Structure formats: C-alpha cells, structure tokens
C-alpha cells in the first residue's frame, strides 16, 4: 500500500467504492486521514462499513462542511456530459476534486529512497488503443530482465494498493483519459502515448477534449522521457511540442506505419521488423514476425512503445527482443484461443471501437468476422474500405440488422454469439481465421468486453470439443 500524504488529521470524502475507491480509502486511512465514503450502491456501502469506514450521504446539504478534498472514482463524470451531483456540490463548496492517480503521484516518493542506489521509476502509458498490451509487454520484459516491476492503474492492481517499490523498482501504469483528465498531480519518469482515435467523446466534450485529457500526462508533469506514437496528427503535434530541437532525444518517436528518419531517437516497425535509430544510425533490429503474442501492425506499434520505454530504463536490445519472443499476449486482445482443421480462432473482444477493429482486421487473412454490439459515437464509417481481408461478417447484438446494413462485406445477421460462432464454424475453410473483433461496446448484451470474449471462447470450445 502507498499511504496518502498531505491529509493527516483531515476529513477526505471518497465517492465510488469499487476496487479503486476502497483502495483509496484504505490508503487515506494509512496516511492519517479520516475517509468519509459514499456510493449509491447499498452493497458497496455495506462492504466499506464492514472495513471500518464511515459512510455519509454526500448528496445532502452541508455534506462537505469540514471536508478537505473529494476523491472520485474515474468512471464518475465530473464535467461532460454533465457533472455528477456530488461532484458539483463539492465544486460549489470550493472543495478540491482529485482521483487516486493524483494521490499516488503526490504520495509515491518515500524518505527511504535515500537508501536506494537506484531510485524507483514510474512509466505511465496512455492512448486510445494498445495501452494494456504495451504495459503488460513492458512489465513482462522487466521481469524477464530480473527487474522489480509492478503493474497497476487501469490494469493489475489499484495504484494505491501496490507495494512500496524497492531499489530500482519500476511501476508500470496504464492510464485512461478518465484518469489523466482529473488527476491533480501527474509526474511519471517516462510517459508513453500510443495513438489516438475517437472514443469516449461524450465524456470529454469532443475530440479536442479527449486529446487534451491525454496530453495532460505530458504537459503537467514534464516526464524525463516521452515516447510518442506519431502515426496520427495529434501524436505528431505532441512530439513537436515536447521537443526543443530535431535531435532532442528526450522524445522518442515511434511508428508502425513508416520508416522514421532524422537526428533524434526513433523506433519503428516495417514489414515485421522493429528498428531503433539514434542520430540517423541504426542501433538495433528485432524480427517480430514469429511472435505469436504480438500479431499484426497494431501490436508491432505496441512493441515499439514497450521497446522504447525499456530502452529508457537501460535494458539492452537483445534482452528486450528475447523477452518479447516469450510474451504470451493478453486475454481478449488478438488472443488465439484455438486452432482446428487449419482454422484459427482469435478473441479480440477488446476491439470495442472502429479503429481497434480495423487494426485487428489487418492482422489476419481470410477472416470470418464476428462483429456488432452497441455502436459508439462516430458510427461505422471508418470501416469502409478496411475489410479486404474479410470473407464474411457474422453480426451480433440487439441492433444486429442495422449494424449489418452499414458494412461493405457480405454479412449475416446472427444476433447471438452462439449463432454467430456456429455459422462461422460451419462456413470456415482451411486457412481461415474466425475473428471476434466487435467494433462496438458490449453493454447491449454483456456486462463488459471480458464477458463477451469469454462467451466467444466458451462457444468455440463447446463446438470444437
């Protein structure tokens, strides 16, 4: 646990008592604060009270009298599409609003670090797609190198629930736009921006607000090193803002779309090979083509990001490459779950938006594509012209018929996962890939994308025996 500093003896309100909320309350208590908790869910309040916390209805007038700060869970809206009533009440009372990420960065450093030969480091990764794979891959590389590493944030443990790091320890954080937008402190040693595509636009008031939330990770804290994906204009702009000159190697530019040149520090992937260039000379090359845990150009971009971050931490290229070769991949992210009769079955349920689905579709050939679900803002126009590898689509979801009409490939309306898997298996021929890459949210039929991926896996396994 990382005890929260700066609130000794003060009342601090905690809104939302899920995984991160309870961890926050415990860390506040460990730091000497008096947490006052609330969640609209009675079961969540009961769990907090069983842990010894006081619950107070923060909707009531005067609830913020004597309160030093409000710490809110990331899923609770604080501005768009409209502020949660409790957060609005805190702001009207002049009470600062923060989240667990902000508390982590203000509390992470410890006096005992003076005894370390190498101080602990924090690597924080944000972006639209690839964050989870990037942080998991970096964590895997560090462990294979014998370095102490902890995975936290939007994956793994809550940031305040991790163990105090030891000598040279590394904390690898996945941070969503919800987390970076509100945190009052953001001071990673290394910050990584993977890419940007439309997502969560209602929560951020549009694309500009979404990018601004991501940009805060770099603008607020001034990391020692920044790894920036420049395959979109926003990343190119961000890299330019952070650089003092073309040769400024505090900024490492990465790409999975083209060769990068220039006097600076670049890492890029082309035709399945990762290359590192420094001062216009090649420093390393890694063959990614046979790495089953990193299929497709989108995963090659993730590999570039993790490689660049690992290099900033002093790891050698050969060690990084050897570790990448043993990376198993993450569940629900281009995860091969079965192979039978020359047909490969791939679970990419995490492809919840059009951009991530397009990247999945480019990673395989002869695709029997299971797609559909709750459409996100922006519709499906981005799929047009991107389905050249698709033999046929099998559409699920409550609005499957409407979804299917927007596709530029042959599509069969299946509605349920069971029907889609059954029809895809019946049609599949040797050399095909049955791919779940929904290009939509899961909430019309499932609680989350993990449950959707597990349903796909179960249906495949049931039919393959």
- Enumerate the known binding-site residues for ATP: 127-133
Supply the DSSP symbol for 392.
E
Tally the C-alpha atoms within 13 A of residue 207's C-alpha that lie toward its C-beta: 8
Q: What angle do CA 352, 353, 356 make, to 5 degrees?
A: 90
Task: Report DSSP letters for 193-232, one per residue.
Answer: E----S-SHHHHTSHHHHHHHHHHHHHTT--SEEEEE-SS
Answer positive or negative: Cα dihedral of 192, 376, 356, 174.
positive
Supply the DSSP symbol for 276.
E
190-193 β-sheet, strand order = 149-153, 170-174, 121-126, 190-193, 225-229, 251-255, 265-270, 273-278, 281-287
Supply the DSSP symbol for 112.
G
Comparing C-alpha atoms, which of 348, 393, 347 is closest to residue 367? 393
Supply the DSSP symbol for 114.
G
Known binding positions: 127-133
Which tokens sit at 339? 């192979």
Comparing C-alpha atoms, which of 343, 9, 319, 283 is closest to residue 138? 319
């Amino acid at each position: 646990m990382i005890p929260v500093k700066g609130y000794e003896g003060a009342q601090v309100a905690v809104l939302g008592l899920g995984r991160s909320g309870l961890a926050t309350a415990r860390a506040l208590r460990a730091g000497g604060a008096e947490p006052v908790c609330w969640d609209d869910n009675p079961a969540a309040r009961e769990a907090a009270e069983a842990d010894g916390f006081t619950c107070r209805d923060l909707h009531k007038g005067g609830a913020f009298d004597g309160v030093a700060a409000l710490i809110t869970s990331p899923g609770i809206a604080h501005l768009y599409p409209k502020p949660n009533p409790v957060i609005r009440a805190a702001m009207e009372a002049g009470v600062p609003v923060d989240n667990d990420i902000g508390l982590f960065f203000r509390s992470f450093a410890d006096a005992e670090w003076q005894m370390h030969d190498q101080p602990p480091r924090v690597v924080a990764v944000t972006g639209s797609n690839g964050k989870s794979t990037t942080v998991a891959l970096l964590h895997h590389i560090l462990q294979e190198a014998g370095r102490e590493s902890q995975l936290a944030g939007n994956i793994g443990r809550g940031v305040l629930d991790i163990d105090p790091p030891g000598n040279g320890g590394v904390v690898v954080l996945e941070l969503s736009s919800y987390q970076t937008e509100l945190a009052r402190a953001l001071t990673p040693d290394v910050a990584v921006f993977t890419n940007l595509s439309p997502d969560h636009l209602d929560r951020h008031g549009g694309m500009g607000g979404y990018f601004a939330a991501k940009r805060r990770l770099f603008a607020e804290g001034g990391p020692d090193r920044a790894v920036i994906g420049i395959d979109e204009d926003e990343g190119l702009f961000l890299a330019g803002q952070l650089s003092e000159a073309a040769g400024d190697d505090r900024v490492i530019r990465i790409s999975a779309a083209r060769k990068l040149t220039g006097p600076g520090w670049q890492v890029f992937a082309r035709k399945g090979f990762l290359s590192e260039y420094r001062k216009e000379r090649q420093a390393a090359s890694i063959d990614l083509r046979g790495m089953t845990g990193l299929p497709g150009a989108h995963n090659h971009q993730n590999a570039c990001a993790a490689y660049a971050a690992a290099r900033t931490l002093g790891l050698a290229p050969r060690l990084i490459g050897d570790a990448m070769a043993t990376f198993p991949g993450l569940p629900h992210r281009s995860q091969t779950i079965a192979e039978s009769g020359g047909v490969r079955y791939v679970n990419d349920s995490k492809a919840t938006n059009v951009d991530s689905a397009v990247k999945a579709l480019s990673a395989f050939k002869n695709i029997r594509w299971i797609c559909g679900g709750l459409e996100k803002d922006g519709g499906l126009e981005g799929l047009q012209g991107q389905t050249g590898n698709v033999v046929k689509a099998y559409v699920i979801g409550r609005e499957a018929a409407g979804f299917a009409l927007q596709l530029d490939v042959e599509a069969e309306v299946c509605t349920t996962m069971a029907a889609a898997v059954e029809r895809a298996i019946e049609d599949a021929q040797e050399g095909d890939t049955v791919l779940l890459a929904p290009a939509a949210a899961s909430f019309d039929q499932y609680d989350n994308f993990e449950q959707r991926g597990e349903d796909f896996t179960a249906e495949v396994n049931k039919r393959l025996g």
